[in-house]
Structure 1
């Protein structure tokens, strides 16, 4: 007997930005892991669908999409003895916006958060989404366990110490449907956010390491002609008070949006007012869920040793970039050992672009950006717009061959294969 969730077809619709209409014939909303197993085992092509906040076709397929929004479950925190960190086991479809208040209410925290809180934990960590901080790894580095349904319908669990886990965390949807994910947690902490105006390119490039290391998390916003603002997020237990001046930039005296002439009501609180980690590390309030995205996004990660050259290369392209750009953002991310993480093996500078939703012109400028950043070994964000091909990605990711072998072991029949994987990592070659 088939479960209703496995047979009721529904239109797949579009991604969050509206620039992609999913091709899947069916969209399923299973309410149990057993239903997920049945759908996956019975589908010729299947992909998991999270918050739809990817700007490319990484989650697209021709047959079946599986949304885990209805796969409910409690957040369970395991607290081992001794000094080992706690682990929060989270349902696969849970968004950070739901998870964060629950963790905070019980005195727990994650080490890092992305700009937007409405994205799913499983989707963000599967694509190497990051946050900011010289000493902070990406969101993916919190992952210490994965429970996933493989293409044969088998439910498997990977935990810390398993040889496959470093290759499976940033998995691009190629290994299975994640039904639960284990995240390393720590005691809660407080953060203040101060915004500074007037930082010059000269001061930034002369002491980029100092700027990035001046606080727990630093974001530099720009239109690539000039730096428009700097958001400096400091742990209260590490810095008693924020300075009035920041590398020559002055402290903002009113709440300031990263986009000119934009209301600030949905932003996290600024002006140095302390708040819990989940109320300050995102740029937007946890309760704020964008209804639609009149934007596109791209992002590239370069080793920190190439940071100055990468910034200068993009400044030279400012006349082409700026007319299409809502805002750019420069952040740092600490190195990790996750095979397909953009920070694999090296501390990186993240160069983010929020574009107006003009896909034809954005796609036309991406090759110029990628060519300019090629000497800097730029790795693209897996969930955003880019044109970098499989051959170049193979050069940039030394463990990509190992990842292909991992995919073939977990998905020998190619059920999770799609155009994106064929075009980028050639997962079944």
Structure 2
């Protein structure tokens, strides 16, 4: 006999930014895998709810939301036979802030982390979220195993080599509820962060590839009128000496926030102080509100070879962007073969916007930004604000047709279908 779900009327809850109010009639917090399977199999429409850090309605549904914070499980490390790394099995509801200390305690590391550690592993990898670095793939490229509950309640396991695996990693919540995820880990390493100011656009464009390749991870911050800061995160085993000048920019002499006037206490350490990978690769500390706390976000990915032209196109809109902008960040991400990854098929430049919390004005501006970037094949971040529709997205993703077929096989009745997927994937059109 299936277990009865622990369900309650949905809280009048919103996403992290407060711009999406979830419409679900019920919020479930299952305490066992069997209970989760019962909820999914018994629902007409259901979506998984993670850290609520998406800025759009990707997790919205009128029926049932499922939070996995009560589902039992722990991080389990499976060393590789050669002893050089292995697989970390992570519960579906776990956040990076809960996973990385466990890895660090065992002398292990992930290859990359996002700007903030507050997000869930399952949600970040399902949307192609990324860290940065010319040779670093997105967070999704660390995935080497998935366990998810399909629409009929069956637990399905996928691994590299399975024909569906490359399509299932960046799944947008369309295939099922992830209960466990396997991440490739490696030996731990140390990183130092140095911040530079007064880099010019001219010097950046003259040496763009060299700037991006100068360290393990490089972030360029801008308001589109000028370059405001460059954060250079170098592995100490790769870069023994970090210069006082960086392509003509000078080193900051005190901790510096990318958002002027914001307290620096919520940032990870700078000024070249070496630290463990998980204490330097994110921009923000775990115990503090990330970024400004009151914001919206948008991000687009363009092929790296079009980076300069894309930036020039955005600079022409600086007079419209700047009044709504808190800061923009430019980062590179290495290519991968995951069907719906923004880096599918080639290295990309990520163009990130942190906006003031003025959604109506931001949404009114997005079509102009997307039009400016359209000649360069810009793909939007799946978890942030954008207006690009299903037809254009299908043209940007060569395997979109294959993904639609995968969705129909895993979810023929549209249990995980919602308005977001209808706008972007149109699997049931």
Task: Compute the TM-score of the two structures, normalised by the length of structure 2.
Answer: 0.98
Contact 1:252 1:271 in 2 (8 A): yes
Q: Which runs of 5+ in 2 are unaligned?
A: none
Structure 1 residue 292 displacement after superposition: 8.8
Contact 2:24 2:62 in 1 (8 A): yes
1:113-262 alignment, distance < 5 Å: 113-262=113-262
Contact 1:6 1:39 in 2 (8 A): no
Q: Which residue number in structure 2 is paired with residue 368 of structure 1?
A: 368
Instruction: Determine whether 1:309 maps to 2:342.
Output: no
Contact 1:12 1:24 in 2 (8 A): no
**Counterpart Cα distance in 1 of 2:133 and 2:426:** 32
**Counterpart Cα distance in 1 of 2:10 and 2:322:** 39
Structure 1 residue 83 displacement after superposition: 6.4
SS in 1 for 2:232: strand
Aligned CA RMSD, in angstroms, stands at 1.3
Q: Which residue number in structure 2 is paired with residue 397 of structure 1?
A: 397
- CA offset digits 1:117-136 (Å, max 9, x no partner): 00000000000000100000
Q: Which runs of 5+ in 1 are unaligned?
A: none
Structure 1 residue 151 displacement after superposition: 0.3
Contact 2:191 2:280 in 1 (8 A): yes
SS in 1 for 2:266: coil
**Counterpart Cα distance in 1 of 2:133 and 2:79:** 26
Contact 1:266 1:284 in 2 (8 A): yes
1:46-57 alignment, distance < 5 Å: 46-57=46-57
Q: Does the C-alpha gap of structure 1 residues 291 and 306 become closer, same or farther in structure 2, counting only changes over 3 Å?
A: closer
**Counterpart Cα distance in 2 of 1:405 and 1:12:** 35
1:102-117 alignment, distance < 5 Å: 102-117=102-117
Contact 2:10 2:24 in 1 (8 A): no
SS in 2 for 1:65: strand
Q: Which residue number in structure 1 is paired with residue 353 of structure 2?
A: 353
Task: Compute the TM-score of the two structures, normalised by the length of structure 1.
Answer: 0.98
Larger deviation, residues 4-13 vs 349-358 = 4-13
Structure 1 residue 241 displacement after superposition: 2.2
Q: Which residue number in structure 2 is paired with residue 281 of structure 1?
A: 281
Structure 1 residue 402 displacement after superposition: 0.1
Structure 1 residue 428 displacement after superposition: 2.0
1:2-81 alignment, distance < 5 Å: 3=3, 5-11=5-11, 13-81=13-81
